[in-house]
């Protein structure tokens, strides 16, 4: 737990620049603004907004933030050093950075001599001049500079003396932060620690003495930052190793988004630094928003959240084994390394064929059902659960269906409607399925038979629409329900077209979501079962809410 005296680690988020280089990730200006506002609420000190001048989207993004500034965070513009054999003052791309209006600018330059000679096609001395000239130019315009030493660790390994010279050039020009970048993501934690320690020693001795003889530059020694990539699955470990060796800035992205294998994941770094290592990163109340922020960003960038992500994943505090559940029920410390609420997450008891009675009792309590191990109903629920899972059901991903199973065993399952049958018709044109389907359903409500038909974008959508059409006059609340996700899995592929299919349907009513399941050798029958139970569970929630209001 952090205190007012806890040492500060400065967080630097690059989701909006480095994170957008993730394959399959694309954001609009509006998306970037929404994410920036969320990071601002989270209390991230530095937010790298992009490279103004590199594309029109980033230019407009910075203009928008000039009109509506962030409340807590510093927005940072990013760009490279000037081109070889030019002058910084004459570089159009640097002019665009000034126009962006940010107080802080991050400049990246080459640390690895291989990149200087092979990528830039210039001399080692000219690269040093590029670093000095670019930083001095921004400093002369009142900007504060963070220097990203690109490919630092590779450069340090191959030509240590030259790599250190690049840092010296950045310091002499007025950079306030030196960020050591593991750009290729191939460095290991012990190598990071060694390099950071040597850089700290170099700064406090050799460079400090040189600065004392130069009246044109500041006398303060810059602080060290770390920027790691995850190509060896070491990004978080490397960042933590750098902090232990003296780095005071950590760069990363929400959910670890980034090019290739991604960047260091701030959703893991922040709680590790703050809860495990005692550093101060963000406020405690802001830390409780971490899970929500992680899911918000994944929603905005339209990528499925990693359910098994540490700290913020849906399964991060999920307990499935009966022994685990029994122990956690007595004392959460037995199988939880922190309290889920500290990062805004929650404990989940997962129901599966591996479950014992402890799982069933714990899960029942989440639905407001109190059971006892000695009651025959508890064992009947467990027996029914294991029987269905042997047939292909998977209730850990369909908690709403498990709730309905419990109510059925307890004799408390409400019969809102009875399914009589369904038909689906899909037109085929020249061997290709059209985008529409027609479904006909027959249901009974209060003894009255209803026959309805509806079209949809595919057979499942048509079935869903037909069911709602048949029931909405009896249950108007169905108008607010929606089918939000649909997944299908073939369970025994060796059976060919006779294989069993498992369908998962996620439904919602605008403020709650629930998942139901169906299993059949007929994919439409499995889907229909899941859709029917999704509507049934939604009606159950509505009924319970109305009963609670009356009480």
Q: How far apart are CA 77 and CA 134, in angstroms?
A: 14
Closest CA to 404 of 512, 535, 513: 535
- Is residue 180 within a helix (H) or strand (E), and if so which, with residue range? strand 177-182
By mean pLDDT, which of 283-292, 293-302, 337-346 is the weakest? Answer: 293-302
Q: How far apart are CA 479 and CA 431, in angstroms?
A: 35
Tell me the average pLDDT of the chain.
90
What's the pLDDT tens digit per position in 478-525?
999 988 888 888 877 666 666 788 898 989 888 788 989 999 999 999
436-466 core/surface letters (b: 16 or more CB in 10 A; e: else): ebbbbbbbebeeeebebebebebbbbbbbbb
Mean pLDDT of 212-218: 53
Tokens of 227: 């920027």
Mean pLDDT of 125-129: 98
User: Which position has the higher pLDDT, 305 or 520?
Assistant: 520
Is residue 533 scored above 70 in pLDDT? yes
Tokens of 87: 């002058």
- Whole-angstrom CA distances from 156 to 112, 159, 227 are 7, 5, 15
By mean pLDDT, which of 22-31, 43-52, 68-77, 215-224 is the weakest? Answer: 215-224
Chain centroid to CA 278:
24
Is residue 441 scored above 90 in pLDDT? yes
What's the pLDDT tens digit per position in 360-404?
888 888 888 888 888 899 889 988 988 898 888 878 678 899 999
Mean pLDDT of 309-319: 93
Residue 371, CB-side half-sphere exposure with 13 Å CA sphere: 26
What pLDDT, on a 0 to 100 scale, did the predictor assign at position 1?
43
Q: How far apart are CA 389 and CA 491, in angstroms?
A: 12
Instruction: Identify the burial level of 380 via C-beta atoms within 10 angstroms of its C-beta, where 0-12 means exposed, 13-18 middle and 19 or more buried.
Output: middle
Q: What is the pLDDT confidence band of residue 299, given thresholds at 50, 70 and 90?
A: confident
CB atoms within 10 A of CB 86: 12
Q: What is the pLDDT confidence band of residue 305, given thresholds at 50, 70 and 90?
A: confident
């Amino acid at each position: 737990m952090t205190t007012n005296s806890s040492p500060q680690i400065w967080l630097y988020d690059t989701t909006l620049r480095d994170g957008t280089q993730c394959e399959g990730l694309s954001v609009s200006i509006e998306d970037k603004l929404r994410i920036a506002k969320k990071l601002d609420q989270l209390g991230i000190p530095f937010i790298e907004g992009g490279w103004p001048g590199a594309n029109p989207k980033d230019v407009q993004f910075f203009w928008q933030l000039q009109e509506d500034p962030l409340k807590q965070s510093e927005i940072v513009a990013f760009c490279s050093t000037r081109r070889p054999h030019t002058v910084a003052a004459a570089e159009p791309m640097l002019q665009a950075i000034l126009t962006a209006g940010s107080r802080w600018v991050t400049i990246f330059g080459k640390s690895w001599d291989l990149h200087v000679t092979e990528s830039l096609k210039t001399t080692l001395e000219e690269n040093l001049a590029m670093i000095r000239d670019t930083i001095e130019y921004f400093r002369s315009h009142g900007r504060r500079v963070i220097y990203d030493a690109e490919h630092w660790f590779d450069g340090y390994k191959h030509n240590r003396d030259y790599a250190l010279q690049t840092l010296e050039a950045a310091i002499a020009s007025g950079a306030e932060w030196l960020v050591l970048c593991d750009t290729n993501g191939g460095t290991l934690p012990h190598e990071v620690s060694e390099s950071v320690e040597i850089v700290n020693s170099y700064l406090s001795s050799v460079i400090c003495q040189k600065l004392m003889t130069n009246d044109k530059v500041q006398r303060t020694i810059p602080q060290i930052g770390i920027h790691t990539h995850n190509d060896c699955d070491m990004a978080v470990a490397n960042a933590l190793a750098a902090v232990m060796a003296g780095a005071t800035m950590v760069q990363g992205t929400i959910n670890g988004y980034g090019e290739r294998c991604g960047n260091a994941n701030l959703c893991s770094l922040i709680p590790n630094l703050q809860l495990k290592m005692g550093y101060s990163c963000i406020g405690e109340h802001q830390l409780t928003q971490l899970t929500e922020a992680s899911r918000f960003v994944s929603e905005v960038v339209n990528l499925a959240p990693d359910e098994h992500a540490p700290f913020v994943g849906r399964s991060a505090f999920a307990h499935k084994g009966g022994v685990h559940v029994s122990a956690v029920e007595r004392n959460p410390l037995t199988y939880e390394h922190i309290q889920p609420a500290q990062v805004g997450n929650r404990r989940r008891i997962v129901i599966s064929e591996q479950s014992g009675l402890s799982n069933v009792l714990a899960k029942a309590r989440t639905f407001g059902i109190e059971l006892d191990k000695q009651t025959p109903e508890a064992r009947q629920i467990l027996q029914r659960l294991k029987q269905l899972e042997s047939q292909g059901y998977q209730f850990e991903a369909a908690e709403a269906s498990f709730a309905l199973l419990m109510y059925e065993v307890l004799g408390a399952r409400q019969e809102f409607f009875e399914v009589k049958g369904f038909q689906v018709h899909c037109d085929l044109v020249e061997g290709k399925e059209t985008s529409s389907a027609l479904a006909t359903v027959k249901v009974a409500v209060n003894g009255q038979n209803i026959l309805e038909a509806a079209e949809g974008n595919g057979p499942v959508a048509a079935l869903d629409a037909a069911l709602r059409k048949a029931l909405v006059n009896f249950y108007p609340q169905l108008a607010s329900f929606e089918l939000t996700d649909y997944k299908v899995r073939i369970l025994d592929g060796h059976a060919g077209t006779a294989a069993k299919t498992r369908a998962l349907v996620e439904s919602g009513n605008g403020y709650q979501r629930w998942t139901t399941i169906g299993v059949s050798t007929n994919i439409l029958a499995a889907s229909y079962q899941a859709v029917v139970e999704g509507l049934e569970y939604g009606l159950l929630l509505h009924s319970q809410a109305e009963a609670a209001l009356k009480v």
